[in-house]
Amino acid sequence: MAKNKKRSHGLLSFLLWLLLMSVIMVSAARSEDRALLIGVGRYAQFEERLNGVSLDIAMMREFVHLMGYKSHQIKVLEHEQASTAKVYDAVENWLINGAGPDDRVLFYFSGHGSQIPDENNDEDDRFDEVLLLYDAALTQNRGRQTLGGVLIDDDFNHMLARMKSRNILVIRMPATAAARRSACGCLRVPFRPVRLK
């Protein structure tokens, strides 16, 4: 009973935090808010499944509606739809090209994350953080084992920097939360001040 109460308290705290962030993000003049919800609970090359991902997506879709997003402003890529090509395309065309300076942008990911060897020497620990997409697979690069089919933190940071919006919220639900409903984490993104009207 105590564990369920603790989990419920953690989820409630997370939802209250999201509500606070949505209030902060409210902008007086919005033309086309955009939300991209990505959930990967099945992988083409791996047997492991994350059973909580579909529930995460359903709950997040509901919450995004509570934030004021309309159905046509929400794009969902789940499981097989969340391939590398489709995710990169959705970020480029749905978020970067689709949202203006005063629009709200929300990026949500539920699934596995990992690390791969850093290729451009910008990481102190010599590893880049990645989100595993549906087509994630073990590969070789310069004689070292790595992962392909991932969204690399460096690429994602460049994508965020190209977004016109000043109202960006990034939420990454760790796989442990997808399985256990416990907590939220966020990717490291460069600081950009948000002007509130």
Residue 114, domain member (yes or no):
yes
Asked if 84 contacts 44 with a C-beta cutoff of 8 angstroms, the reply is no
**Percentage of residues of the chain with pLDDT beyond 90:** 50
Structure token pair of residue 145:
């084992």
Asked if 36 contacts 91 with a C-beta cutoff of 8 angstroms, the reply is yes
Residue 194, domain member (yes or no):
no
State which residues form the domain around 140.
2-180
Q: How far is CA 75 from the centre of its chain?
A: 12
How do strand 74-78 and strand 34-39 relate by DSSP bridges? parallel
Q: Which of 126-143 are b and which e, b meaning 16 or more Cβ less than 10 Å from the residue's Cβ? A: eebbbbbbbbbeeeeeee
Asked if 181 contacts 11 with a C-beta cutoff of 8 angstroms, the reply is yes
Phi–psi pair at 154, nearest 5 degrees: -60, -45
Q: For 8-33, what is the mean pLDDT?
A: 61
Q: What is the pLDDT of residue 4?
A: 56
- Assign 189 to helix, strand or coil: coil
Q: What is the pLDDT of residue 11?
A: 65
Q: What is the pLDDT of residue 169?
A: 92
Describe the crossing of helices 53-66 and 2-25 by its angle, rounded to 10 degrees. 40
Residue 190, domain member (yes or no):
no
Highest mean pLDDT: which range of 13-22, 67-76, 182-191: 67-76
Residue 131, domain member (yes or no):
yes
Residue 88, domain member (yes or no):
yes
Alpha helices in the chain (DSSP H): 2-25, 53-66, 84-89, 153-162, 175-180
Give pLDDT tens digits for 47-82. 888 888 999 999 999 999 999 999 999 999 999 999
Output the domain CATH number for residue 8: 3.40.50.12660
pLDDT averaged over every residue in the chain: 80
- Assign 41 to helix, strand or coil: coil
Residue 146, domain member (yes or no):
yes
Measured between alpha carbons, how far is 94 from 106 in angstroms, rounded to an integer? 11
195: number of Cβ within 10 Å: 9
Residue 150, domain member (yes or no):
yes
Give pLDDT tens digits for 118-152. 877 766 667 888 999 999 998 888 888 889 999 99
Of residues 190 and 71, more confidence is placed in 71
- Assign 125 to helix, strand or coil: coil
**Helix or strand (DSSP H, E) at 8:** helix 2-25
Q: What is the pLDDT of residue 36?
A: 97
Q: How many domains does the chain have?
A: 1
Residue 193, domain member (yes or no):
no
